[in-house]
Amino acid sequence: MLPVQRAVYGKLTGDAPLMAAISGVYDYTPEDIPYPFVVIGEAIETPDNRHGGFGRQTVITLHVWSRYRGYAQALAIGARITALLDHQPLTIAGQAHIVTRFEFSQTLTDPEPPGDIRHLVLRYRVLTEQHP
All structural domains of the chain with their residue ranges: 2-130
Q: 24 pLDDT exceeds 90?
A: yes
pLDDT of residue 132: 65
Q: 115 pLDDT exceeds 90?
A: no
Q: 53 pLDDT exceeds 90?
A: no
Q: Is the CATH code 1.10.10.60 the one for domain 2-130? A: no
Give the residue with greater pLDDT, 131 vs 12.
12
Mean pLDDT of 7-36: 96
- From residue 62, alpha-carbon distances to 25, 43, 53, 113, 129 in Å are 10, 9, 29, 24, 22
Q: Could you tell me the pTM of the whole model?
A: 0.93
Mean pLDDT of 72-96: 97
